[in-house]
């Protein structure tokens, strides 16, 4: 028997929790499904902070300009305008809800990161901003009796009835059996897909289910070829690819090669403060040149007490692996970090499939263009999570859940389907890293696609099929885009081309199409 609620939110990161709160505040019953424990999401691992216009020497125009530059000509201007103007209001609201950003003498502390023209980054507990976001939002959501948080519920597919998304099939966390939950609308806030790659800063839950589920349900997927690789992940044998925050370079960290030479000025005049895609490629090229698997982040010129206070979690984690950030050079190499592409939505989270809304990293609103500006992701989840909740409520007032018709899943349909098989996971992750990674070319991409087609031809559970489907979408778009722009770099097409200054669109059963980049600033009403 199916479960019924007013609205279903998938994911408990910043976007999902903020969407759920927006709906509950309007009197709607909300069920939040999340794959792991409620606090486990990409949000929790965000170290650097949240970019927001609050400092006296800053304004929305400057933040918008920095975002557009980083986006390499592919940002939708109206989306960026929405982010930077509304972001201030929503961050102030978070503070009112008890979010504790770092202060000095009672005043908020602002830091600077790569490609920002002002110190506008707020952080919490030094390098644990995401965890503080999650803590305060879970506390706020917990105060809403209409929100039902359901952890350990793995979603498998969207339920579509008469051309509308009306619910979700998921694995019941207690029975480990398939169930359906239906409602007036679904808001996907499932985060990114860093786990597609062999090396990633993302937690195990970041497998991109929401993107592939939306595609298989008929929704449009945009710009999925644009993957941001964080330049500086800790690179040690038998250690996780722990993120060494962008803020470390923002505070004065230097990148060196195995000979101790500073190399970034040779690649870009902005050196360590260049956008992430440039820094990541530069590190890869320097490693190839020197025949090594790592570069090194040098923080030793900075005051030891300052480093321990500013980066307490990073300091403690590195120390556990025998490295003192105040004294030692830290071995680093790039790792997959963030997806700029995803479910194509408007500025209110509406996808091309009626009834399906989305917010956060799972989407492509056009905010990030071809390359996300550092610390814009938490702000995006906050702003567009709230807007998606508001739009879903307004659009669905007259929807009658009892009118939905759909086929219930059979009792054995999810036998082993909720988990990506180990063999498929390993094969896809290595292929993505070697064939669809930081540096791409036609031959590698075609080989990758052939590998994915071979895997898809075998018998797969739903989770494995979702995983491989998304990998194929990334490779397909990367092969189509015969240029280099932002997080997508083709060694056989190393320059940006005006003909490709468009969004790539993939939809089930259709060849790749394009959408023009929105270059106009305009108000957008719900």
Do the bridges between strand 178-182 and strand 107-108 make them parallel or antiparallel, or are there none, so unpaired? unpaired
| Cβ pair 243, 45 in contact under 8 A | yes
276 is catalytic: yes
Catalytically annotated residue among 276, 372, 440, 485: 276
Interhelix angle 462-480/442-456, rounded to 10 degrees, is: 160
| Cβ pair 254, 301 in contact under 8 A | yes
| Cβ pair 464, 193 in contact under 8 A | no
How many Å apart are CA 23 and CA 180, to the nearest integer?
Answer: 21
Core vs surface per residue 116-133: b (16+ CB within 10 A) or e: bebebbbbbebbbbbbbb
| Cβ pair 312, 126 in contact under 8 A | yes
φ/ψ (deg, to 5) at 458: -90, 170
| Cβ pair 151, 31 in contact under 8 A | no
Using the structure block, give the residue that is written with the tokens 């590998």: 451
- Which token pair is 111? 């830091």
> In what helix (H) or strand (E) does residue 516 lie, and over which residues does it extend?
strand 513-516
> In what helix (H) or strand (E) does residue 170 lie, and over which residues does it extend?
strand 164-171
CA dihedral 469, 473, 475, 477 (to 10 degrees): 170
How many Å apart are CA 436 and CA 445, to the nearest integer?
Answer: 6
How many Å apart are CA 510 and CA 388, to the nearest integer?
Answer: 27
4, 45, 246, 261, 518 from 265: Cα distances, Å: 58, 30, 17, 11, 34
Q: Is 303 helix (H, G, I), strand (E, B) or coil?
A: coil
Burial of 269 (0-12, 13-18, 19+ CB in 10 A): exposed
Q: Which residues contact 22 (CB under 8 A, 6 or more apart)?
A: 385, 386, 388, 389, 390, 393
User: Known catalytic residues?
Assistant: 276
């Amino acid at each position: 028997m199916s479960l019924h609620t007013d609205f279903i939110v998938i994911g408990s990161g910043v976007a999902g929790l903020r969407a759920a709160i927006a709906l509950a505040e309007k009197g709607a019953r909300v069920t939040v499904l999340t794959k792991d424990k409620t606090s486990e999401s990409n949000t929790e691992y965000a170290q650097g902070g949240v970019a927001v216009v609050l400092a006296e020497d800053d304004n929305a125009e400057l933040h918008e300009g920095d975002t557009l530059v980083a986006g390499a000509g592919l940002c939708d201007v109206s989306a960026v305008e929405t982010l930077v103007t509304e972001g201030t209001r929503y961050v102030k609201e978070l503070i009112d809800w008890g979010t504790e950003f770092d202060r000095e003498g009672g005043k908020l502390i602002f830091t600077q990161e790569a490609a920002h023209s002002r110190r506008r980054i707020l952080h919490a507990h030094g390098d644990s901003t995401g965890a503080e976001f999650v803590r305060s939002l879970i506390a706020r959501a917990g105060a809403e009796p209409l929100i039902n948080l359901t952890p350990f519920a793995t979603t498998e597919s969207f339920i579509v009835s008469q051309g509308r998304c009306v619910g979700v099939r998921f694995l019941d966390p207690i029975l480990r059996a398939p169930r359906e939950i239906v409602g007036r609308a679904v808001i996907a806030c499932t985060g990114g897909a860093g786990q597609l790659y062999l090396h990633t800063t993302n937690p195990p839950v970041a497998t991109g289910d929401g993107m592939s589920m939306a595609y298989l349900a008929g929704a449009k997927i945009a710009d999925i070829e644009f993957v941001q690789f964080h330049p500086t992940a800790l690179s040690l044998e038998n250690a996780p690819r722990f993120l060494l925050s962008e803020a470390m370079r923002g505070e004065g960290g230097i990148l060196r090669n195995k000979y101790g030479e500073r190399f970034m000025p040779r690649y870009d005049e902005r050196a360590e403060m260049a956008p992430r895609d440039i820094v990541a490629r530069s590190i890869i090229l320097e490693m190839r040149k020197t025949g090594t698997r790592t570069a090194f982040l040098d923080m030793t010129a900075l005051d030891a007490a300052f480093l321990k206070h500013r980066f307490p979690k990073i300091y403690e984690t590195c120390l556990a692996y025998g490295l003192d950030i105040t004294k030692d050079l830290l071995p680093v190499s790039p790792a997959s970090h963030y997806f700029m592409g995803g479910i194509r939505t408007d500025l209110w989270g509406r996808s091309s499939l009626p009834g399906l809304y989305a917010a956060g990293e799972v989407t492509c609103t056009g905010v990030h263009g071809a390359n996300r500006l550092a610390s814009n992701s938490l702000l995006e989840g906050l702003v567009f999570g709230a807007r998606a909740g508001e739009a879903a409520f307004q659009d669905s007032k007259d929807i009658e859940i009892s009118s939905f018709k759909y086929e219930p899943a059979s009792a054995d349909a999810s036998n082993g389907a909720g988990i990506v098989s180990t063999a498929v996971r390993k094969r896809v992750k290595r292929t993505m890293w070697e064939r669809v990674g930081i540096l791409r070319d036609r031959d590698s991409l075609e080989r990758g696609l052939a590998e994915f087609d071979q895997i898809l031809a075998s018998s797969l559970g739903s989770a494995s099929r979702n995983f491989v489907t998304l990998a194929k979408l990334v490779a397909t778009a990367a092969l189509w885009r015969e240029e280099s722009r932002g997080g997508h770099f083709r060694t056989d097409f190393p320059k940006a081309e005006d003909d490709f200054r468009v969004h790539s669109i993939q939809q089930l059963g259709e060849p790749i199409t394009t959408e023009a980049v929105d270059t106009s600033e305009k108000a957008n009403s719900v």
